[in-house]
Structure 1
């Protein structure tokens, strides 16, 4: 196992895709803390983030043979975590203590709730259709609030490349979400 610790991500990902559990374990230990921090920023709950990352890593293990760019396994993990976190956010039910609850007259009605749900569904569909590189950059910026430099470091690209990916992603989201404005 000690020898695997110094092996590059791409090689570990390829070995894991071939069923090497030890290689996958090294990837999990290497990137797990970042993934939990990433999910925590999205979900605002460490417990939910831990569960989300665990679910994402199970999906990643099963889908590793589909990974096209093994050297970018961290970004791929991040995309899966972001999807799981988004699913978790959407499934949350509000749990406001009764004494803090707003009067029924100020709560959104069924029409407004349905509209919001439809908007979220449309946004998810648009994000799912973005190329993985654009989607990951968009999620890191718009959901997690990362700076361009932080995204560049995380994805191993230049800040200029981040700006380009975000510009393309934002243009697509803007165009495809026009009917919801």
Structure 2
């Protein structure tokens, strides 16, 4: 694989890798370093990539595994990961109710189990297709659809609890 082929076929994936790596690593400097190291690793393995039937899947799987390895090697420390903090909304926004709703949704999403939150973010926030999600996670499309459906149901149920409580019509189980 030549330099031009690498730039043409693999470099465009960096735009799609960045949100995934941001979600997994959290730190901007760490993401840039990891992305650079990953591209170097892919360049060194470019002959394997030439034989690969699905280079996109290979790149996403390599990136995911690379991030997981980085996280394992790190000492435990506090890191702000995308989704673990409520969205910051500018105070001069047009609609206070919309800001409040967004805050509630971000709180509910923050409390979702990892896979549910990850799939919901990929589909609804990043706008990824199921094929792209499959390449990122390694799970089948039917399983991703189930996770997405369950995560939407959980978000809906939690928001209903919040708004029913605020209206004074809280149901006890």
TM class by shorter chain equals 0.3 to 0.5
Choose between structure 1 and 2: higher helix proportion: 1
TM-score norm. by structure 1 comes to 0.45
Q: Report which of the two structures shows the higher radius of gyration computed on alpha carbons.
A: 2
